[in-house]
Structure 1
């Protein structure tokens, strides 16, 4: 897989800033402070952030990608080792590294080992002494000069003290030509998502050939996302088994609130979302909500109808009716009928995931796209307004993952006509398994001679 390039719309790659450090030094609090909103999960226990999670950020007119990472522990094993690998990967693929220490604790052996890796990274490193909530603590951080990473920046991410100065330093460290790189080659990431007790953990265990996740009839057994590398159809995939989503995040509380946030993070860090649905039961509002989450996150999408061994002919008839009625908006997503219990057709999910990934990364040349849109308008023009018919002046595909199109037009386009264009894009080019992002940019009306100021 080619390296992903993080771009600023039509202006090319933006710098990538990785926030790294050992567990519980306040990395996610710092990320939230920079973003100005509560985006990263913050909890007073180590290991809450497990994967690198990228957010769009801006300071002083400069856009950049801010990557939150799991706590770095050099001698970690198990899930800790996976966190460490993600943090080290963020170091290698970032343009600027923000290394966070706890000013109240000082330098630990783990910090010293991290510093040795940072020296080898050959990237700008900004040393942050977080939780420096008083001038006395600021005086104590002078010893951090000995790490050889330059001047330590005192900061209180919780209260915002020193955040503006830190952002100035980050922007100043941006390279002239950012890499925009967020990930390296490796297994494609699939998030297994769905409402509670739909069979996600059973499916993961069947694919892995071992008990990677706890399986219980009680809904909600899985709370945290669990990463597993499994081989499906002779290809390695990274599967993330997530907690079932019961409620919208804003209505959830306690452990369920954090589980919902982590599930959303798992979807956003994946390339493909496989939404498991219980084929033996009617489609629910919860099912619709999970599908919407994946679509809104812009992930490639596969619908897996589990428990097919419990479906008789009568249920199949009604299920087809439900799909036609309630899943029409995602008719483009590949469907697989499986049984996690018996193993029926689970290998076919790899074929569906590959198909969705192809659609997610598909690109049309500018010349081909503009000829196509011209022919489409000639055959089926936009409905007229006051005798005028808005037209596309120029079209461009400005991105992939998911495919994103910008149409420069003579005027606003009706939502219905936008849906018509999207549908025809699918009919003529495919984009199977991927959302399509269509942006209309109407030309600004010229000022009349009467209204122009002299």
Structure 2
């Protein structure tokens, strides 16, 4: 699909929408779409607006592919910034899908920030995008980017020829002119609500995590019912975390689609490195993670590493085996053996066998998420915990260490989300015994879907303290 086709479709869509573009987005927060052809500095400018490095930036065209929304504040006013992939005329394949995502962002925006590389000037592609924006009926702010000093300001004046109004010289890299640009943005957006610092309860936050091409974006799209995340058979299409409010099991959840993790963060480079960092940040912001695995392929070392990443972060966990519709009887038997052999350490995690393509068993995700989150927040009363511990230790005392058997004095639950326990003893407990205590905790109290932390605190004897 080329830019002219997008222009015609945009015009037709907007003609049928009436006045829907005149007010702020749902929730009262206006939306600003940042558009332009590839590698003009859109994501760098988004980071400048946000005041932090949130969007992936690399000196390579086409790094941003999905449309990705961020909350921004300027002069005490809140609005949503949507970073988009580059528009290219006569795009084909993946590039055409990226252009469609940019067009979808335009359809839902209250205003548009059109970014042009001033050092290059207005190209044919820029002029084609300008025609789309003319037909859209949206207010447009023209950002003449890469004006790093006064000498290049004159080049920005040439962009008046696009017929989109005054070009605002700005340097996304250095911040030059960004204040004036943001003042102009707020002037065209609907009245934005004042920023509030009151924390409100919201939907439970779910991170979709897995290695590339296991179907994370396909699953999100299936649940949402539209192509919210860009899907392509090229592994690694998603690079920024994509947030979406979705309805699963009759209630609203905040799903975060993340970039596929190929390797450890320290081993990644370029866009992959920053995508890995954002995936780690998305996991930190989530309460529970759905780790998606490809059921038609052997469980890999990277799958196991991603699961470890979730448990080490202390997040609740659900394992989802995708592409279940592709499995024959032999593969199912092999998979069961792989799960016992490779995933025995997380045997406590709920497992759902799904198909993102057909929607098979996706309705079972909500009960699994609830199970994990309930366990994640479970607290055992101290009296009950110590009665249980006394019984367990009496039946199976800890092994001796240095010829002496350490006495287990008492235990307390130090926290939840995840459950954390502290066991007070007169001596060190071997790791095998700590694993034994964890196993017995799970057998007697459940804790399905959550990691458990058990730490040992050795109390010094009175004569040693004297």
Which category describes the TM-score, using the shorter chain as reference length? 0.5 to 0.7
Q: Name stretches of at least 5 consecutive residues in structure 1 with no aligned partner.
A: 1-21, 30-39, 52-68, 82-101, 122-180
1:24 pairs with 2:48: yes
TM-score (norm 2): 0.62
Query: In 2, distance between residues paired with 1:284 and 1:235?
Result: 33
Give 1:232 shift.
0.7
Query: In 1, distance between residues paired with 2:464 and 2:325?
Result: 69
- Residue pair 1:377, 1:391 contacting (<8 A) in 2 also: no
- Residue pair 2:245, 2:252 contacting (<8 A) in 1 also: yes
- Residue pair 1:28, 1:42 contacting (<8 A) in 2 also: no
Q: Determine which of 315, 321, 339 is the counterpart of 2:337.
A: 321
The count of corresponding residues between Structure 1 and Structure 2 is 320
Q: Determine which of 176, 180, 185 is the counterpart of 2:201.
A: 185
Q: Determine which of 377, 400, 407 is the counterpart of 2:416.
A: 400
Q: Which residue of 1 aligns with 2:79?
A: 76
Q: Which residue of 2 aligns with 1:222?
A: 238
- Residue pair 1:24, 1:44 contacting (<8 A) in 2 also: no
Shift of the 218–399 alpha-carbon distance from structure 1 to 2, 3 Å rule, reads: same
Query: In 2, distance between residues paired with 1:359 and 1:194?
Result: 23
Q: Which residue of 2 aligns with 1:198?
A: 214
Partner secondary structure for residue 24 of structure 1: helix
Q: How does 1:54-453 map to 2 (within 5 A)?
A: 71-73=72-74, 74=77, 76-77=79-80, 79=82, 117=194, 184-446=200-462, 448=464
Query: In 1, distance between residues paired with 2:82 and 2:254?
Result: 14
TM-score (norm 1): 0.64
Query: In 2, distance between residues paired with 1:24 and 1:44?
Result: 15
Query: In 1, distance between residues paired with 2:278 and 2:178?
Result: 30
Alignment RMSD, CA only?
3.3
1:183-228 CA distances to partner (integer Å, 9 max, x unpaired)? 5311111101100000001100100000001111110000000001
Give 1:381 shift.
0.5
Q: Name stretches of at least 5 consecutive residues in structure 2 with no aligned partner.
A: 1-45, 84-104, 106-173
Please identify the structure whose Cα radius of gyration is greater: 2
Give 1:23 shift.
4.9
Q: Which residue of 2 aligns with 1:169?
A: none
Query: In 1, distance between residues paired with 2:175 and 2:301?
Result: 47
- Residue pair 2:56, 2:239 contacting (<8 A) in 1 also: no
Partner secondary structure for residue 79 of structure 2: coil
Shift of the 448–75 alpha-carbon distance from structure 1 to 2, 3 Å rule, reads: closer
Query: In 2, distance between residues paired with 1:415 and 1:41?
Result: 42
Runs of 4+ displaced beyond 6 Å:
40-45, 102-107, 111-116
Query: In 1, distance between residues paired with 2:386 and 2:281?
Result: 36
- Residue pair 1:23, 1:71 contacting (<8 A) in 2 also: no
Shift of the 337–358 alpha-carbon distance from structure 1 to 2, 3 Å rule, reads: same
Query: In 1, distance between residues paired with 2:394 and 2:258?
Result: 47
- Residue pair 1:41, 1:261 contacting (<8 A) in 2 also: no
